[in-house]
Structure 1
Amino acid sequence: MVDYSSFPRKQILCVDMKSFYASCSAVMMGLDPLTCYLAVVGDIERQGSVVLAASPRLKKDFRIKTGCRRFEIPNDPRIHVVEPKMSTYLRLSTEITRLFHRYVPKESIHTYSVDESFLELDGATNLWGDAQIVAQKIKDEIEREFQLPCAIGIGPNMLLSKLCLDLEAKKKGVAEWTYEDVEKKLWPLSPLSEMWGIGRRVEKTLNNMGIFTVGQLARYDLEKLEAKFGIMGNQLYYHAWGIDLSEIGAPIMEGQVSFGKSQILLRDYTEEEEVKNVILEICEEVGRRARSSKMAGRTISLGVGYSKDEFGGGFHRSRSITNPTNITMDIYRVCMELFHEHYQKKTVRQLSVTLSNIVPDESMQLNLFDPELPKRRELGYVMDKIRYRHGSRALLRAVSYTPGGTAVYRSKLVGGHKS
């Protein structure tokens, strides 16, 4: 048994905006987000385009949800199919965060995603009332000021507030869990992938160990879990008991282990040179992301997904280098080695590049055989500053202006979608 008396009992809210993109688009069209049938699709002209968000009624009555394709949406006059307005969504998300500031200081807010945030109420309840009262106030104000629905889970830590949100508050609107609720409300949960933090692969491994519910995981031998999963086994065990020591407001980059970018191409790429051009563009973005955090990496991964006309498939391979880097052309050089070794001359539809095994970029050592390294490193930062000040299109590589380049088109997008 775990003694909860030694663990913090904070008051954490997990606020989730219901079907945020779809709800925002519904409000802009003068529709009720909870009763209308609406789908936000990346590109309404392409039947294979992905559904980015669906209104609650569309999910319930037509089984259309995020990840479905345009062609799966029935031809029903009640259903509104719209393209995303990413700039508007982001602006509304910012305004909602400002609403949170009325109740707690900035350092007590952790923006988990564009539609989900954690708030720590400790110290604010003397002003506004207990967690239930504050949650209801926030929910009512969001609905009154933005006409947007939300759900709020309350817990003594981030984990339990999130689990409370997913498993109860999304049905009730506002709900609260304490440590004393874990055995009754969390332990019966099955399948395990329904629990925040457990994916399908981990679930399958746990199932093979005879663990099918969270309660069985909580009662499993801790040493055996650690032997099987390492430090993750310790986390799984304590999460099953509802214990989480994560701190609100910790920098998101604190636990960053990689920088990556993947891209589903707008058409099938049959020419090898065109594929290489897009890989270079992606390497540029991965390098920029690493440089923006003053980090570098020793392991570079390339993923290539083939077209459905090739019956799918592809490859994902990695290579480690001696000295860490965040220089675009260094990343690209390794990607080209992997590409030439594994590419099967097939039609390409998806690409991804990842830089991992991360260290601070001060670890990029001088190399006697590469005296230009400091200049190339500094050049990357100068290019980033120019783009930051004048826009991403202010400085592009020539390959971006070739027929296969995608950077010019994507520079007009927000979050990968139309603004």
Structure 2
Amino acid sequence: MNYESMPNRNIMCIDMKSFYASAIAMLEGLDIFKDPIAVIGNFNQPGSVVLAASPAMKERFKIKTGNRLFEIPKHPDIKLFEPKMNFFLQMSMTITELIANYVPIDAIHVYSVDESFADLTGTEKLWGTAEETAKEIQRAILDQLNVPSAVGMGPNMLMAKLALDLEAKKTGFARWTYDDVQTKLWRVHPLSEMWGIGKQMERNLNNMGIYTVGGLANADLESLEKRFGVMGSQLFYHAWGIDYSKLGEPLVKNPSLSFGKGQMLMRDYHNRQDISVVLLEMCEDVMKRARDNGFVGRTISLGLSYSQKAMTKGFHRSRTIDVPTNETLVMYKICMDLLDEHFAGEPARQLSVRISNLEQEHSIQLDLFDERKPQRQIIGHTMDAIRNRFGATSILRAVSYTKAGTAIKRDRLVGGHLA
């Protein structure tokens, strides 16, 4: 592969280590390196997930992100906190402002609440080499906010992200160049260890005889494109460390717009009736977003994951309809049909719904056999207008007031957690 014409800038990807725990430590005057700290989603739920754990919590008590509240031992040294999402978001913005002291704000791309990219190209005359600047930013964040970080650097956003995930999160800092692709990237396995490859794609690639990133890079490009379309080409070039994304753009360009919502349930939902309540609330939210943006869609998807106690794997199924829609009850009916076809009766713990295959709303043709369709559309937009003005819970369907409903409780959350 000839890299001479490929992007070759000084891109930094910085990740705040145990961000929620670090932020809480600063707020409470604790030492993130010495005190065993865990941030729990909800104290009232024994099965609530650990959102972040300090190094001492991981080392001394073997508790890390993803553990459950009931797994945490009773020990006087352990300090537990519920999330303070508004404070975490403010901390994230403060960190971004601090990075902006070293590079222009338009050279920063906030990837998530605890991770950002920054283009350090051209800062050499101000702060020294790009590597020195990156380490100085790390020191400044630690000194001023007491938040430790890890930094990956590379010639493009992808390589910086890979350097972070595959090396810097263990060592604190790593810089990869195109020369490192074959020696560091190609040896990565299983494939899901590489950013951008999930478990399902890993299984698909394994079925083609591809088990390492090196095997992916040396696979037949035409076969990958035939099997996966544009994604196959993207996977091939990513395996060579090639990425043309610019700051401010997503690392993966996905031309197919869609609207979706996923929800982790705070308890097991055992029956169809309770699951249907949450599905109706989720369909309402997704279709409101579609209407607000002026879209209708043809493909409706439902995903369901079972509790850890279940003996059955979850499912993800889709159905495409002839007439595009943004009506809540149309989406809900199809989701319920999919649920009835594939639900195994095991306790459900996670749901997702999505509408895709979109087109502009004004493209809908009149249906001579459905005289009430215009009325339903007016009702939908009217309900949206009320919610936009007075809040998401200002008008709800009656099922949201039942024990199975989650809309009222979740309205008080930020990012799914306590504000």
Aligned residue for 2:265, secondary structure, equals: strand
Report how far residue 166 of structure 1 moved. 1.5
Q: 2:4 is matched with which residue?
A: 5
Aligned residue for 2:403, secondary structure, equals: coil
Per-residue CA shift, 1:315-350, capped at 9, x if unaligned? 543221123223322212322333444556665544
Equivalent-residue separation in structure 2 for 1:333 and 1:309 (angstroms): 28
Report how far residue 283 of structure 1 moved. 0.7
Contact residue 152 and residue 168 of structure 2 kept, 8 A: yes
Contact residue 305 and residue 312 of structure 1 kept, 8 A: no
Per-residue CA shift, 1:361-417, capped at 9, x if unaligned? 444444333455455445544544443443322232222223332211111111111
Equivalent-residue separation in structure 2 for 1:323 and 1:125 (angstroms): 57
Aligned residue for 2:79, secondary structure, equals: strand
Equivalences for 1:317-332 in 2 at 5 Å?
317-332=317-332
Contact residue 312 and residue 344 of structure 2 kept, 8 A: no
Aligned residue for 1:27, secondary structure, equals: helix
Equivalent-residue separation in structure 1 for 2:374 and 2:103 (angstroms): 44
Q: 1:295 is matched with which residue?
A: 295
Equivalent-residue separation in structure 1 for 2:100 and 2:382 (angstroms): 35
Aligned residue for 1:303, secondary structure, equals: strand
The one-letter code of the counterpart of 1:147 is: N
Contact residue 278 and residue 406 of structure 1 kept, 8 A: yes
Equivalences for 1:263-282 in 2 at 5 Å?
263-269=263-269, 272-282=272-282
Report how far residue 245 of structure 1 moved. 1.0
* Shift in alpha-carbon separation, 1:304–1:182, aligned structure 2, 3 A: closer
Contact residue 150 and residue 169 of structure 2 kept, 8 A: yes
Q: 2:159 is matched with which residue?
A: 160
Alignment coverage as a number of residue pairs: 418
Bigger Cα displacement from structure 2, 78-87 vs 332-341: 332-341
Equivalences for 1:89-238 in 2 at 5 Å?
89-238=88-237
Bigger Cα displacement from structure 2, 233-242 vs 74-83: 74-83
Report how far residue 18 of structure 1 moved. 0.7
Aligned residue for 2:393, secondary structure, equals: helix
Aligned residue for 1:6, secondary structure, equals: coil
Equivalent-residue separation in structure 1 for 2:349 and 2:176 (angstroms): 45
Structure 1 residue ranges without an equivalent (≥5): none
Report how far residue 220 of structure 1 moved. 3.1
Contact residue 153 and residue 160 of structure 2 kept, 8 A: yes
The one-letter code of the counterpart of 2:4 is: S
Contact residue 121 and residue 130 of structure 2 kept, 8 A: no
Equivalent-residue separation in structure 2 for 1:123 and 1:376 (angstroms): 56
* Shift in alpha-carbon separation, 1:394–1:98, aligned structure 2, 3 A: farther
Report how far residue 56 of structure 1 moved. 2.7
Q: 1:285 is matched with which residue?
A: 285
Per-residue CA shift, 1:146-172, capped at 9, x if unaligned? 211111211111110001112222233
Aligned residue for 1:154, secondary structure, equals: strand
Report how far residue 177 of structure 1 moved. 1.6
* Shift in alpha-carbon separation, 1:169–1:316, aligned structure 2, 3 A: closer
Equivalent-residue separation in structure 1 for 2:23 and 2:161 (angstroms): 23
The one-letter code of the counterpart of 2:21 is: A
Equivalent-residue separation in structure 1 for 2:121 and 2:294 (angstroms): 33
Q: 2:414 is matched with which residue?
A: 414
Contact residue 277 and residue 404 of structure 2 kept, 8 A: yes
Equivalent-residue separation in structure 2 for 1:352 and 1:51 (angstroms): 21
Equivalent-residue separation in structure 1 for 2:53 and 2:193 (angstroms): 20
* Shift in alpha-carbon separation, 1:203–1:403, aligned structure 2, 3 A: closer
Contact residue 224 and residue 233 of structure 2 kept, 8 A: yes
Aligned residue for 1:220, secondary structure, equals: coil
Equivalent-residue separation in structure 2 for 1:223 and 1:272 (angstroms): 44
* Shift in alpha-carbon separation, 1:264–1:161, aligned structure 2, 3 A: closer
The one-letter code of the counterpart of 2:50 is: V
Equivalent-residue separation in structure 2 for 1:208 and 1:336 (angstroms): 32
The one-letter code of the counterpart of 1:28 is: L
* Shift in alpha-carbon separation, 1:383–1:126, aligned structure 2, 3 A: farther
Bigger Cα displacement from structure 2, 103-112 vs 66-75: 103-112
* Shift in alpha-carbon separation, 1:343–1:165, aligned structure 2, 3 A: closer
* Shift in alpha-carbon separation, 1:383–1:190, aligned structure 2, 3 A: same
Equivalent-residue separation in structure 1 for 2:213 and 2:343 (angstroms): 42
Equivalent-residue separation in structure 2 for 1:116 and 1:330 (angstroms): 38
Contact residue 53 and residue 66 of structure 1 kept, 8 A: yes
Aligned residue for 1:323, secondary structure, equals: strand
TM-score between both structures, scaled by the size of structure 2: 0.88
Aligned residue for 1:68, secondary structure, equals: coil
Contact residue 159 and residue 242 of structure 1 kept, 8 A: yes
TM-score between both structures, scaled by the size of structure 1: 0.88
Aligned residue for 1:392, secondary structure, equals: coil
Equivalent-residue separation in structure 1 for 2:16 and 2:160 (angstroms): 15
Equivalent-residue separation in structure 1 for 2:302 and 2:246 (angstroms): 34
Mapped pair 1:387 → 2:387: yes
Equivalences for 1:256-405 in 2 at 5 Å?
257-269=257-269, 272-305=272-305, 311=311, 315-343=315-343, 348-370=348-370, 373=373, 376-377=376-377, 379-405=379-405
Equivalences for 1:59-74 in 2 at 5 Å?
59-74=58-73
Report how far residue 267 of structure 1 moved. 3.7
* Shift in alpha-carbon separation, 1:104–1:366, aligned structure 2, 3 A: farther
Equivalent-residue separation in structure 1 for 2:58 and 2:333 (angstroms): 45
Equivalent-residue separation in structure 2 for 1:152 and 1:367 (angstroms): 56
The one-letter code of the counterpart of 1:141 is: A
Equivalent-residue separation in structure 1 for 2:139 and 2:199 (angstroms): 36
Equivalent-residue separation in structure 1 for 2:242 and 2:268 (angstroms): 47
Report how far residue 3 of structure 1 moved. 0.4
